[in-house]
Amino acid sequence: MNIFHKVVDFYRDPEYFSEVRRIAVPIIIQQLMFSGLNLLGVVFVGQKGDASVAAVGLAGQIAFLLNLVHFGIISGAAMFTAQFWGRQDIPNLRRVLGLCLILAITASFIFFALAQLFPSQILRIYSKDAAVIELGTNYIRAFSWTFLFFAITFSYALVMRSTGDVKTPTTISVGALLISTFFSYSLIFGKFGLPELGIQGAALAAVIARALECMTLLSVIYWKKSPVAASFRELTKFDKDFISRVIKPMLPVMLNELLWALGITTYNIIYGRMGITSYAAINIVSTIEQVAFVLFIGIANATSVLVGNSIGAGKEERAYIYAGRSLGLGVVGGVVIGIILQFVKMPILSLYNVSPEVIENAGHIINIVSFFLWVRVTNMTTVIGILRAGGDTRFSLFLDGIIIWLVGVPMAYLGATVLHFPVYFVYLCAMSEEAAKWILGINRYFSRKWINNLAAQVESV
């Protein structure tokens, strides 16, 4: 009974829940719309058969890699912007945004060039199926135009979150997703007088939506004179000393995302080489996973802002307590959502026009997702919401970027190529990574070694 009262007292803080709700709810709405409409998009593509689902999934790996590179750059920058906002240091916040934009746009141009010049060569890394490669090649050439817009949108949106303005980018993003879904349906199946383009229609719809999203967000930012509405001079007003002090803590984050992305890509290479049915099942489950993680993405991002703002304001004990509360919410929420997944998995899977083998494999994978969900949620909150917000980027790099190569990838490779497990057992092998991360991450939280005031280190630059 004593423990129960302690837990109740630990969560008896209306300010924490008010702040989490203020930041997390718009992010949750955005993620729910994104995940739900993405799920619907895969259902649309699924009407074209296993090869189309696999092709879009494989082509999406290039975009997935870029998104993680962007996330590494921008979340690394957000460590600083959250703390600068806590100190109300707008000039330095804008300088970091400018540095973030330069890095993100450069990455987008590199990936765009690769997608335009070597699409088939890249897709052959994942699959040897000629039909899948042909469909995926055409798809990624069209879809890669979104890379150029996304670098700008994502940079501004994530830094805006650091200032507590979550509603503006969320509203615009949701509008873009609705436009993308409408045009995707219309162009895939030739509805409303538009041509029937198959999966090429989905790519074209994404380009239209991303372009509109980028232009609308920039217009609103500068019209409302947001804290991130910096002039070109303000965005580029930094010297070598400033760059060095900001980039040094950011590099482990970027390397973290790169190594983790390559690890996930290796998983997908392993799944892809197991055949179309195996990879189609993985691609279907990944869209369902996105929906399951919606609530926790919001909590993790809200935790990052609250922890970063608290450390920047010199309130380290509050940062520690807020982080602990979010970890507890993640455990309980992960268990509950995992149970719900078991009830809804078959009704959702029945929407896909794919082979019975794909459905069976996907069902088994969802069972594993349900069991490990609370572990993965805790890990996500630890890395994104706590370690990075606290500037503990080196340990975050080890936890998120190295463990996957030491544990997860070798286990998945062993399961697929040596033991010849079915795809769902190979997926279970990959989850060994999450178990290792959980043990190390929880210990790091209790050590308090992750609390570092980055803003104080660069405020004099």
d(CA 206, CA 45): 14
CB 461 within 8 A of CB 241: yes
Q: At what angle do helices 432-447 and 423-430 cross, to 10 degrees?
A: 20
Integer CA distances (angstroms), 84 to 89, 323, 366, 399, in order: 5, 19, 41, 26
Entry pTM: 0.70
Residue 49: the pLDDT is 62
d(CA 159, CA 333): 27
d(CA 8, CA 6): 5
**Which ranges of 190-315 does DSSP label H, i.e. alpha helix?**
199-224, 232-235, 240-272, 276-292, 294-312
pLDDT values of the chain reduced to their tens digit, one per residue, 461 residues: 566 666 666 677 777 878 888 878 877 876 776 666 566 666 676 666 666 766 777 677 777 778 778 877 877 777 777 778 777 888 888 888 888 888 889 999 999 999 889 888 888 877 777 777 887 888 888 888 989 898 899 888 888 877 778 788 888 888 888 888 888 888 888 888 888 887 788 888 888 988 999 999 999 999 988 888 888 888 888 777 777 777 777 778 778 878 888 888 889 889 888 887 888 888 888 878 888 888 888 888 888 888 888 887 788 888 898 898 899 988 999 999 999 999 988 888 887 777 888 889 899 999 999 999 999 999 999 998 898 888 888 898 899 889 999 999 999 999 999 998 999 999 999 999 999 999 999 999 999 888 887 665 555 44
CB 173 within 8 A of CB 34: yes
Residue 96: the pLDDT is 84
Instruction: Please report where in the chains the tokens 């995302």 appear, as a residue.
Output: 257
Nearest Cα neighbor of 171 from 281, 27, 364 is 27
Residues 6+ away with beta carbon under 8 Å from 75: 158, 253, 257, 304, 384, 388
Residue 432 C-alpha from the chain's centroid:
21
Instruction: Please report where in the chains the tokens 């286990």 appear, as a residue.
Output: 411
Residues 6+ away with beta carbon under 8 Å from 398: none
Residue 444: the pLDDT is 94
Residue 30: the pLDDT is 67
292 class by beta-carbon count within 10 Å (0-12 exposed, 13-18 middle, 19+ buried): buried
d(CA 399, CA 425): 24
Residue 150 C-alpha from the chain's centroid:
13
d(CA 326, CA 386): 9
CB 308 within 8 A of CB 83: yes
- What is the identity of the amino acid at 368? I
